Structure 1
Amino acid sequence: MFMADFKSFKAFIFLLLLLLFNTGILAKEEEAEVIAELKKQEEDSQPFVGLNIGTEVSDLLSPKDLVSFLQLQKITHIRLYDANSDILRALAHTKIRVIVGVPNNQLLAIGSSNTTAATWIERNVVDFYPETLISAISVGDEVLTTVPSSAPILLPAIESLYNALVASNLHTLIKISTPHAASIVLDPFPPSQAFFNQTLTPIIIPLLQFLSRTGSPLMMNLYPYYVFMQNKGVVPLENSLFKPLTPSKEMVDPNTLLHYTNVLDAMVDAAYFSMKNLNITDVVVLVTESGWPSHGDSKEPFATIDNADTYNSNLIKHVYDRTGTPFHPEITSSVYIYELFNEDLITTPLSEANWGLFYGNSTPVYLLHVSGSGSFLAKDTTNQTYCVVMDGVDTKSLQAALDWACGPGRSNCSEIQPGENCYQPNNVKNHASYAFDSYYQKAGRTVWSCDFKGVAMITTTDPSHGKCIFPGSKKEVNNTKMESPSSNTTSEAQSRLMGDVNWRTA
């Protein structure tokens, strides 16, 4: 594998340095400088999580405050959709690396004129680099699928910009590529059967050859959220959210027998197999967009804060675990989360305004739950979780799960009896959530204890309300109601009646 070859090359360099130093050919000071540079290159090659920053925000921070916020959140990589000069200027002399973007509406001018391309590089790159650490240029965004009329000019624009980088001697320091929608890959599962849309291959083949020649990544915008929404009933929600799976729920590629525990890995490998089919094996996938909306309309019931929190928290863990993909375990793709801020100026559909981790004024939409990532991003360190009913579950399945929880599951269901603190609102969903959480907390909060045949989910949001305090909550209630003997009797009778229900959570 080419990444393995790179590691061998680094080992060879270190041995060579040692030999040169021992023979006196290389001075100690020179050796230290070279080793420091190698260490810097190694750090730069490590996988990372970055953030996309859209600016359709009504109360967006000033560039200066934005950079201070990025530093406070320990965000080291960002992607802009343009080359905002105020933001680039504010990033100067920080360690934050930035991808600058060429908007789609500028492609025609740049692709038609080398002079225009050179001017763009001069104004948006040379004028800021190296004080501002521009790491790459993303040329257009999903051009092949959203503005196919501009497809013929895409590669000429990229090559013109690259030639301008060469003229400025920046072509080895700043990569250049273009982000693609996942839909350019057809038949993405199983990944081994994936291939690029053949109507696009006249453009994709020379583009991939360019990326291979210049050492640039294949930029892909990959959203398991949309895969799940388009394939409900086929793709389990757990696969989409990186949740731990039983072996029976893992996706298996029948051609390679590779097991896929999450949708994102399958999407990345589909891109690798598609490149392999075109004899391109030395281009790395960079995920320029991925995320999950925290709010949507009635047509998007899975756009919730809990799911967004779960997806992005697990995504961050997945990248920093550096486990790669089943097809390329030696390569972990870096990922830019979409996005840093909710873009509230985007009005339709509702979910489009709700992909951010933060509101424009820097207050969090929700707190991530990530361990082992230091102070990277605002997150909840209480590690408190609850088990509640999943959205969109039919009443019959929910009632069966509630019957089991209050019967064989031996959940404490006394609080959801008439007159007790958690009886209202009097519906199956509310009662089941309480019963599920009782079982989940008693069973040690394991992922397997919050399944109930797929009708429950783990959340970090305390579901307590009013005087109804859920079993996992640390809240205290004033004037807590004493359990009456009648309520206990009712609960016990109910448990006996439900004891014969055939149900299990595994």
Structure 2
Amino acid sequence: MGPSFLRCFLLLLCVVTFADAGSIGVNYGRIANNLPSAVKVVNLVKSQGLDRVKVYDTDPAVLKALSGSGVKVTVDLPNGLLYSAAKYPAFARSWVQKNVVAYHPSTQIEAIAVGNEVFVDPHNTTKFLIPAMKNIHQALVKFNLHSTIKVSSPIALSALQSSYPSSAGSFRPELIEPVFKPMLDFLRQTGSYLMVNAYPFFAYESNSDVISLDYALFRENPGVVDSGNGLRYHNLFDAQIDAVFAALSTLKYDDVKMVVTETGWPSKGDENEVGASVENAAAYNGNLIRRILTGGGTPLRPQADLTVYLFALFNENEKDGPTSERNYGLFYPDQQKVYDIPFTVEGLKNYKAHNQPPLTGGQQVAAPVRGGVSKSTTGEHVVRREP
């Protein structure tokens, strides 16, 4: 085995290891009147090396454009259909047949998100969530797709009662028996995973006096020690995710996996939206991508390689709410990047990281570090992302 062969082998091993460390996808929202065609969007996604997208409906033009692309897709059954899907199994079967069976497998649908952040839905659809998930799954069974397409539902971090320190993470008591236990039983039985939307931006925006910007953006910092288990955290994202893992552990669902279905940082905001800027958005998303593709799991779950979907592909000019809501995009509608970051391991080779801290998992320490984070690290300020 010569030196050149050894170098090539080690490089290949490094790339394979990085590729297995985690996966990056992107949310393709369309609340805008100036976006490119779905065909152009699929070409854009592929040109960036992204192989996973999540959409907020089952628009035929989008699903047809994704056909044969090799891009894995998570589709959504909107909150407004939860009642029908829960009450009428025939509706669930018809919906699956029309919106999934008709496109799969040429369009590689890998998951169905039943609703989105249902617990904060003002239309009170929470009581329909579990029966809707079960009926959608039974429809997949009928069409023999249950082994390849998972069913879950994205939760906002406001579903947590406690999040700081991460080791004290727990779900809201009023949701545990009626929703979380049956949901987690369902996810365990079907081999699915919990979908979680996590936004360190909200936590930083609301608590910038106590949360370090470097800590929020994955930049070099001394870290924050969890007083409950002695693990040191170098970024707020890990702390948020581990709060959910701790909540799962408290209910004895350590075996249920997690996918981060939304996270991101706005490139522009109103005057009172502290931290919203192009520079900070580039730092958060660029460092997050490096962290996920090369860094393994979290301090609490070092082996939990995460799939993370960035929010969002485009700035969406018709979204309601503060300015930030229309400026989470990685791209402008003309398909130009809002800021230049890579999305693949290959791209990271030539990428100058934004002062990235150590990538090692949590380590035991004897004493806490000054400058802890407040109890609102989950970012209870939740803004609806899509209808």
Query: TM-score over 0.5 for the alignment?
Result: yes
Is 1:374 the counterpart of 2:346? The answer is yes
Instruction: Please give the residue correspondences for 1:44-443 in structure 2 after superposition, counting only pairs within 5 Å.
Output: 47-147=22-122, 149-201=124-176, 202-246=178-222, 250-368=223-341, 370=342, 373-375=345-347, 383=352
TM-aligned CA deviation for residue 382 of structure 1? 7.7
Q: SS in structure 2 opposite 1:161?
A: helix
Q: 1:253 to 1:115 in 2, by over 3 A?
A: same
Letter in 2 for 1:160: N
Distance 1:81 1:197 in 2: 26
CA apart distance, 1:63: 1.6
Q: How far 1:234 moved relative to its partner? A: 1.7
In 2, the alpha carbon distance for the partners of 1:371 and 1:104 equals: 30
User: What is the CA distance between 1:177 and its match in structure 2?
Assistant: 0.2
CA distance in 1, matches of 2:270, 2:207: 19
Q: State the one-letter code of the partner of 2:95.
A: W
1:357-384 deviations in Å (ceiling 9; x for gaps)? 101121111112x4972248xx9x5849
Letter in 2 for 1:234: V
CA gap of 1:346–1:446, structure 2 versus 1, over 3 A, is closer
State whether residues 264 and 311 of structure 2, in contact with CA within 8 Å, keep that contact through their aligned partners in structure 1.
yes
Deviation at 1:347, TM superposition (A): 4.5
CA distance in 2, matches of 1:269, 1:125: 33
Paired with 2:279 and 2:75, the residues of 1 have a C-alpha distance of 31
State how far apart, in whole Å, the 1-side matches of 2:356 and 2:315 are.
32
Question: Quick one: structure 1 residues 141 and 82, their matched pair in 2 at CA, closer, same or farther if it must change by over 3 Å?
Answer: same
Give the counterpart letter for 1:235 in structure 2. I
Q: Tell whether the 8 Å contact from 1:297 to 1:350 is kept in structure 2 after alignment.
A: yes
Which one-letter code corresponds to 1:88 in the other structure?
L
Report Cα offsets for 1:173-196 as digits up to 9, x if no partner: 001100000011122011111110
The alpha-carbon distance between structure 1 residues 244 and 232, as it changes in their structure 2 partners (threshold 3 A), is same
| SS of match in other structure, 2:113 | strand
Query: Does the 8 Å CA contact 1:61/1:361 hold for their aligned counterparts?
Result: yes
1:371 to 1:194, Cα distance in 2 relative to 1, 3 A:
closer
- Size of the alignment, in residue pairs? 341
CA distance in 1, matches of 2:39, 2:55: 15
SS in 1 for 2:125: helix
Deviation at 1:109, TM superposition (A): 1.1
Deviation by residue 1:253-307 (Cα, 9 ceiling, x = unmatched): 1121011111111111111110111111111111000000000111113100000
TM-score after normalising by structure 1: 0.64
Name the residue aligned to 2:381: none
Identity of aligned residues (%): 35
Number of the residue aligned with 1:478: none
Residues 341 and 347 of structure 1: CA distance in aligned 2, closer, same or farther (over 3 Å): same
Shift of 1:231: 1.7
How far apart, in 1, do the equivalents of 2:18 and 2:76 lie?
Answer: 24
Which deviates more from structure 2 when the two are superposed, residues 146-155 or residues 251-260?
Answer: 146-155
Q: Read off the aligned partner of 2:260 and give its amino acid letter.
A: V
Instruction: Determine the C-alpha separation between the residues in 2 that align with 1:289 and 1:219.
Output: 9
Higher helix share: 1
| Runs ≥4 residues deviating over 4 A | 42-46, 381-385
CA distance in 1, matches of 2:194, 2:138: 19
Deviation per CA, 1:139-190: give whole Å up to 9, x if none.
Answer: 1110012236211100000000000001111111001100000011122011
- Letter matched to residue 50 of structure 1: G
Shift of the 131–222 alpha-carbon distance from structure 1 to 2, 3 Å rule, reads same
Q: Is the 8 A contact 1:289 1:337 kept in 2?
A: yes
Letter in 2 for 1:117: A
Q: Which runs of 5+ in 2 are unaligned?
A: 1-16, 358-370, 372-387
Q: Look up the equivalent residue of 2:271 and give its one-letter code.
A: S
Provide the secondary structure at the position in 2 that maps to 1:163.
Answer: helix
Q: Residue 73 of structure 1 contacts residue 375 of structure 1 at CA under 8 Å; is this kept in 2? A: no
Q: In structure 1, how many angstroms separate the alpha carbons of the residues matched to 2:288 and 2:302?
A: 16
Partner of 1:495: none
Letter of the structure 2 residue corresponding to residue 226 of structure 1: F
Distance 1:45 1:85 in 2: 32
Taking the aligned partners of 1:44 and 1:165, their CA distance within structure 2 comes to: 30
- The normalised TM-score by structure 2 is 0.84
Change in Cα spacing, 1:44 to 1:115, as seen in structure 2 (3 Å) is: farther
Contact 2:27 2:53 (8 Å CA) reproduced: yes
Bigger radius of gyration:
1
Distance 1:372 1:341, change over 3 A: closer
Root-mean-square deviation (Å): 2.3
